[in-house]
Structure 1
Amino acid sequence: MASSASPAPFTTEILPVVLSDIDFPREADVPCIQQSSVTFANLHKAADIITKHIAPVAFPTETVYGLGASALSSTAVRQIFAAKNRPSDNPLIVHISSVSQLQRVLHTKVPEVYEPLVQKFWPGPLTIILPLPDPIRNKDGTETPAVSPACTPGQTTFGVRMPSHPVARALIAITDTPIAAPSANASSRPSPTTAMHVFTDMAGRIPLILDGGPCNVGLESTVIDGTVSPPAVLRPGGVSIEDIRKYGGPLWKDVVTGKSEAGRDEKVRTPGMKYRHYSPKAKVVVFVGQGDGSGGQVAKYLRDLTGDLKIGVLPSRSFNLTSWDDEMKKKVSIVKELGKSGAEISRNLFAHLRDLDDAGVDLIIAEGVGEEDEGAAIMNRLRKAATELLDNGQHIVKK
């Protein structure tokens, strides 16, 4: 169910931050920031809003823009759900600035099973699943959950990651508060990779967006679960499954891929499993294994279309639009190249879905990719965005 609380109206500011003003060495717990800079002032303005639980703020990470509030306060976390109109049973990932912050504030250590992967990929686009820490005992004898239950609806675990983006890490370090931060988009929309994407969805709903430029990964973090045997990838993302196997050591050689969809009444341990995600307003049809797109299912689909539709196409590795015949070409209004490499496609996917929505297309035809390396994460997002998926001309999924 969606959060029913109405977000307070705000005049949303977009404030610049300059990455070169921040020096955050890998092993450091506290960043060095040019104190006379606009970056210093704007980071501290955002930090003040977070520590006072006024409202969530948006900020760049290396994956997508996040919408952050204190993970220790249920009041603050509920403000995230209200601003996004996010279902209240969809868990949030907790973001930290250092391993020492995880230990000091959440009284949690990184389990041995994760150590080789944390050494390799933290800070970076990797989320690990941990058992919830013991509640904090107060002086009056009462107990307070170390992580707000609003982050972990009905769960005994929580997800945590350390972003590598200097703005995100600096903001978390300045507040010295673990920050709950889903993507800074309206629920179910494509995730934002620029400050203007955030503004499109969140204007009036949050007070502040820190603009650190476009995100360079473009897809959310990989979520892994080492609390189960064999360990599992719950959500593919910025770290490939192949790299999890390569760098995780013996315990991760047999890592399995968890199911990507959860049932209506099923509790989930990570975002992105239960509800439709990443969806533009336009209908999205994804073609997998269709060659250059000049014949077969793509051609038949285009030629069978009737009516005055504005169509956008997202080609990547195989679609060769120069080989399309005139009948196919005249039906296409806009083409946005996703790129050839997995990194390019990942970086461009959400942005191009938004671009085509902004152009007012009625239909988006997207080229699927193989699921090796970054392909698993790309196809995970395309499947969730798709209205229809045609796989080698045989399997059709309609939503």
Structure 2
Amino acid sequence: MSFTTRILKVDPTSIKFVNGTPEISDKETLTNLQTAAHELTTTHNAIGFPTETVYGLAGSALSDESVKSIYKAKNRPADNPLITHISSIDQLKRKLINYEIPEVYRNLINHFWPGPLTILLPITEDCPISSLVTANQDTFAVRMPSHPVARALIAISDTPIAAPSANASTRPSPTLAEHVYNDLKGKIPIILDGGSCEVGVESTVVDGLVDPPMLLRPGGVSLEEIKQVGGGKWQNIVIAKKTAGKLEPVKTPGMKYRHYSPTAKVVLFIDCGDGQEEIGNYIKKHNIDIDATKIALLQSKSFKSNPKFINKELGVTGNEISHNLFKYLREVDEEDKVDLIFVEGVDETNEGLAIMNRLSKAAMEVVHGK
């Protein structure tokens, strides 16, 4: 099925929550949210919407057909599970679980919900969530987004939604509505345009059902923050390996397959000082004609600009780099049409762990300094 994809403007600042219920002062925003909610609840079509992390592709987590629409639009492998999004703990308990949330998560939920933290919960026999969401695992991943548009959409439809990032599979995640349109136009009917995403990388995913707990995917909540507020068992949290094997089942997205990759080749430089020597050596080694090759340089703290490159400043702080990473990967790829993207690596502390997780999966080659 082919759609005429509509972009519907929504104003996040016009939405506030009172006792978990959205109150919307802007008429256009209310109308467009109601239109999107109607699409979710009366059809099996997937739609694009903003979250605080990246733009998501939403379908009912309770409907096999809706989940199939997500996988089809993205061309996503069916063994790559999805995260379920809720608007409130009340909705989680009414719609998905008949038990109390495990105590191990209490401090994390108190600090980071709503927000970019995803937890794993057990699947019970009467859980109505589609097995296509979980890839037939015995757990499901769930979070409560803090973006007003995302949370309002879920509340108005009163439907837990499965939502991966709203990009074509393997492509960089979208942080603007236009990124979604570029990847998925004709494949989905609606994109809610709420402006730029604040965080810029996906949510952190943790599994507190195992001992010690595991960090399955670094993201918008740092490992250091989890240890700081989680208490008890979270002091011993273990980081899962970055990429699972082809036949290995996974409990969360981001652990399998190539991700976040532009069309242009990405080369990641780690511990390379100002980058001048290693970039020069790379160009010489690969016989690259820099006058005939279009190259972008995404730099942060140390790399120097090059007048022959398209230079982009990712920022200095972890927040700035996270916010700009996917945006600039897409910009130099889709708008500047570069052949090569050189990226400066960062320390894997705080936000840096999530940044380097994404970059290591986007890169086709990694250069280490001496």
For the aligned pair, the TM-score class normalised by the smaller chain equals: over 0.9
| Structure 2 partner of 1:73 | 63
The DSSP-based 3-state class of the residue aligned with 2:133 is coil
User: What is the deviation of 1:154?
Assistant: 2.4
Q: In the alignment, which residue of structure 2 is the partner of 1:20?
A: 13
2:124 aligned partner: 133
Give the equivalent residue in structure 2 for 1:99.
Answer: 89
Distance 1:130 1:17 in 2: 32
Once the two structures are TM-superposed, the CA of residue 298 in structure 1 deviates from its matched residue by: 2.2
Where 1:223 maps in the other structure, the secondary structure is strand
CA drift at 1:299: 2.3
Corresponding residue number in structure 2 for 1:151: 133
Shift in Å, 1:153: 1.0
Amino acid in the other structure paired with 2:2: P
Which residue matches 1:269? 251
Match of residue 362, structure 2, among 361, 373, 385: 385
Q: Deviations over 1:300-336 (max 9, x none)?
A: 1134432421111000111022xx6xxxx43x2x111
Summarize deviations over 1:102-154 as a string: whole Å, max 9, x none.
1011124321000000000000000001111332xxxxxxxxx5110000112
> Does the 8 Å contact 1:21/1:37 carry over to 2?
no
Number of corresponding residues? 365
Whole-Å separation in 2 of the counterparts to 1:33 and 1:214: 20
- Structure 2 portions without partners, runs of 5+: none
Greater displacement, 306-315 / 39-48: 306-315
Amino acid at match of 2:10: V
1:117 corresponds to 2:108: yes
1:299 matched to 2:265? The reply is: no
Residue 293 of structure 1 and its aligned partner are, at CA, apart by 1.3
CA contact (8 A) 1:65 1:195 kept: yes
Task: Give secondary structure in 2 for the equivalent of 1:253.
Answer: helix
CA shift digits 1:263-291 (9 cap, x unpaired): 01111110011110000000000001001
SS of match in other structure, 1:268: coil
The 1-side partners of 2:80 and 2:62 are apart by: 17
Which digits, 9 at most, give the CA deviation of each residue in 1:339-381, with x for residues without a partner?
A: 0000000000000000011211000000000000000000000
Q: How many angstroms apart in 1 are the aligned matches of 2:261 and 2:203?
A: 18
Aligned-residue offset at 1:33: 1.4
Q: Distance in 2 between matches of 1:350 and 1:16?
A: 22
Q: Give the counterpart of 1:184 among 148, 163, 166.
A: 166
Q: Please list, as runs of the form range in 1=range in 2, the aligned pairs for 1:3-18 lying within 5 A after superposition.
A: 8-18=1-11
Are positions 1:226 and 2:202 aligned together?
no
Letter in 1 for 2:114: P
Q: State the match for 1:397 in structure 2.
A: none
What's 1:352 paired with? 328
Residue correspondence of structure 1 range 25-40 to structure 2 within 5 A: 25=18, 28-34=19-25, 37-40=27-30
Q: What amino acid is aligned across from residue 97 of structure 1 in structure 2?
A: S
Q: Secondary structure at the match of 1:159?
A: strand
Deviations 1:51-91 (A, max 9, x none): 01330111000000000010000111110000100001100
Aligned-CA RMSD value:
1.1
**TM-score, length-normalised on structure 2?**
0.97
Give, in whole Å, the separation in 2 of the partners of 1:212 and 1:98. Answer: 21
Distance, in Å, in 2 between the alignment partners of 1:11 and 1:20 is: 28
Q: How far apart, in 2, do the equivalents of 1:320 and 1:127 lie?
A: 37
2:81 is paired with a residue whose SS is: coil
Runs of 4+ residues over 6 Å off in structure 1: none
Which of 227, 231, 235 matches 1:245?
227
Partner of 2:348: 371
**How many Å separate the matches in 1 of 2:84 and 2:368?**
36
Does the residue aligned with 1:24 lie in a helix, a strand or coil? strand
- Structure 1 gaps, min length 5: 1-7, 136-144, 394-399
**Which letter maps to 1:122?**
W
Q: Percent identity?
A: 56
- Secondary structure of 2:347's partner? coil
Distance 1:228 1:385 in 2: 29
Find the aligned partners of 1:392 and 1:134 in 2 and give their Cα distance: 52
Q: Which residue in the other structure is 1:170 paired with? A: 152
